[in-house]
Amino acid sequence: MPILKTIPSTAKKIENNVIPFSGNGYTTVSGDNLTFTTIQRDPNNGRPFSNLYSSFKLPVTSNSGNTWPGIPNNSYFSGLNQSEAIVIKIAKDTYGELIDGRTIHLVIPTGYTNGAAADGASGGTIDLYSSYVTEANWSSDNHPYAAGFGHSVNPTTADVAKPSTNIAFLFTDSVTNNDGVYSTPSNSCCTAWSDGFPSSWSYATGTEPSDPPVGYENGNTNYYNMGINASTRKPPVNITENGDKPVGIAYLDKGFLVITDPSIVDSFFYSGSSSGATGYPYGSQGISTGSYTGMTQVTFTSSTSARCEFFTFEKEWLLSVDCVANNGEFFATENVTASPELHNGAGGSVTAVPGVYSLTGGTQNYSAYISEVGLYDSQDNLLAVAKPDRPIAKAANTTQTFTLKFKY
């Protein structure tokens, strides 16, 4: 049995680091990894999925939107209260612990082009971008409006590694608000919802940014910067009565995007999909009748028709354990070559434990050489073994510290 020493709690430390997921963290999802399903609030129209309204904290009745925490009825956010929606599922293995809510760029097929009806046989695409009400660099929108759909706000200072609501809101320049005006950002800092996105991310050329977003280690301050003093800034969301109009919600830890805006939902161009929805060019024509059963888990083979780009991260947990061999500790050995019977008495000396030899107190003083350190639980079960790259000398009158680090 090895010599065991209790490790005090002060010698153990757990910390976590945020690191990019699967390489540099930038991901483009399309095809089978991006599926579309139409849901409706009415549970009696012949289609399932009305239960998802409750799961996504959407109003289950037309009046229940009035109960959203802190969201006034006269703001454009009340427009999220709709009877139909499109749920977009991002495959779980394509993102890490969280999708950064500042970084989403979604391209979806539409039968409308910039608010005008297009030929039903040849749809175009529409671009949606994520943003926050909170003007700070969190990994999700740390605002009470977002908390109405997700977790509570975090009362501390902004940090991408800290938990927050896990919610972001989706916007587009290509639909009109209630006044017939295109829904570009109302903040004077920006002219389009794509502002603040890195120009180096070009889907057409297959290039991705080399730097992570602002807030991460070595992050580029020009990438997705929600800070109020940023030189290159993402547009924040104006929540006043005549402010900005969200067209959907991103659930960042679950990998779901929910589009609620009627002009997008009604004109969603299912023609060209690889599965389902072949009878009508637009989604709404089947939703209201309940006759459209093919609008479930619809995918698009062409990534130019439907794709989602974002930055995602995971957390790396690091357990550090300091194992200290103090003066007078761990200088004995079970190595039989230390027996005093060998080397004409020039070896170590016997101890009270049979087969264990002290390397001091004999005819000479030697150092023991530590070649591995084991960690045991309270029942003396071996949990882990650490091996240095070379044996470490440990004399009786010295102290040696081994710091063991475990990454998860």
Query: How confident is the model over 378-398, as pLDDT tens digits?
Result: 999 999 999 999 999 888 888
d(C-alpha 114, C-alpha 73), whole Å: 27
3-class secondary structure, 265 = helix
Of 337 and 106, the one with more pLDDT: 106
pLDDT band at 194 (very low <50, low <70, confident <90, very high): very high
Domain end marker among 313, 337, 360: 313
Could you tell me if 396 and 279 lie in one domain?
no
Residue 69 lies in a domain: yes
Residue 2 lies in a domain: no
Could you tell me if 73 and 145 lie in one domain?
yes
Could you tell me if 294 and 336 lie in one domain?
no
Could you tell me if 194 and 304 lie in one domain?
yes
Could you tell me if 226 and 89 lie in one domain?
yes
Section 324-328 average pLDDT: 91
Instruction: Give the chain's domain count.
Output: 2
Could you tell me if 388 and 361 lie in one domain?
yes
Residue 208 lies in a domain: yes
Section 165-187 average pLDDT: 80
pLDDT the model gives residue 201: 87
pLDDT above 80: residue 62: no
pLDDT the model gives residue 117: 43
d(C-alpha 233, C-alpha 193), whole Å: 10
What's CA 131's distance to the chain center, in Å?
16
Could you tell me if 356 and 394 lie in one domain?
yes
Section 239-257 average pLDDT: 90
Q: How many CB atoms lie within 10 A of CB 23?
A: 8
Of 320 and 298, the one with more pLDDT: 320
Of all residues in the chain, the percent with pLDDT exceeding 70 is: 79
pLDDT band at 347 (very low <50, low <70, confident <90, very high): low
Domain limits for position 350? 326-407
pLDDT the model gives residue 304: 76
Report the length, in residues, of the chain.
Answer: 408
Residue 3 lies in a domain: no
pLDDT the model gives residue 280: 43
* 390-404: b (≥16 Cβ within 10 Å) or e: eeeebebeeebeeeb
pLDDT above 80: residue 360: no
Could you tell me if 356 and 298 lie in one domain?
no
pLDDT the model gives residue 342: 61
Could you tell me if 293 and 360 lie in one domain?
no
The answer to whether the CB of 216 falls within 8 A of the CB of 139 is: no
Residue 5 lies in a domain: no
